[in-house]
Structure 1
Amino acid sequence: MNDENISFIDYWDLVDDALLKLFGIDTTDAGIEPELIAGAQEECQTPEEFARWFGEKYGLDYIEDLKTVFGIPSAQRTTAKISFLNDMCRRAMGVANRLVQTSGISALPLKDQSAIREKVETFGCIHDRRRSAWRT
């Protein structure tokens, strides 16, 4: 694909398509700034290359992984979906979701708030620990 011959808005639409296909989110959901997309186009990245780079940078899970997780009985599927989405949001705070915190956390110094959010983001993934149990 020669991105020099495509308008910025068309390139942006293709990035949205790639993100939706790969991760189930678009640039609005991810909070991607237009400048970042423009930079990728200027560097001649394909929209899919940009989407994969962004997903890797923020630890997003591929839709294909969802299909594996949700190929389980109905009662377990709901629990699996909630766990998976919680893990995805926790690992990409403010990117795959809206960040909300209690007034108690907000009252702490910014350095402490940041340290707490980092602990939450890097907490061991419940989804990965349970994955083998879902396949039984």
Structure 2
Amino acid sequence: MTMTQDRITSSVVPEELRMNVLPRYLGRHYLTGESYVYDWAARLDRSYQGGLWLFFTLSNGGFYMAPAEASRVHVHWHMNGYSDMMGSDAFGITVTLFALCHLAEKTLDDAIIERYHQLRQFAAQHVEAANILRAID
């Protein structure tokens, strides 16, 4: 395989298909998973006050959510000392990873654990991979 074939790609989910995304990827845990995403956003960005989120599917079978507003976000996580700026897409990936980890811990659901690993593979290829990986470390 060439480098391009190994590359995981993301696609934004059109508005009319959004309602199916979380049930598809999180199963019966979709409401809890969504609330965890917003909760983690508030934990990691003290200035977070809600807003529209976009849903993305990944070519490896994963997904993530990210704020629709394209801006830089100051992310701070006291448990590992991380404090830095990242773009809204990287912030969304980071928040979704934290939420999936939290959900996997609570549910012990193998499908949720798989979603975490699929997103983590994508995160490692992201333009802001270093920031994302430091934030979740």
> Counting helix residues as a fraction of each chain, which structure ranks higher?
1
> Could you state the TM-score of these two structures normalised by the residue count of structure 1?
0.26
- TM-score w.r.t. the length of structure 2 is 0.26
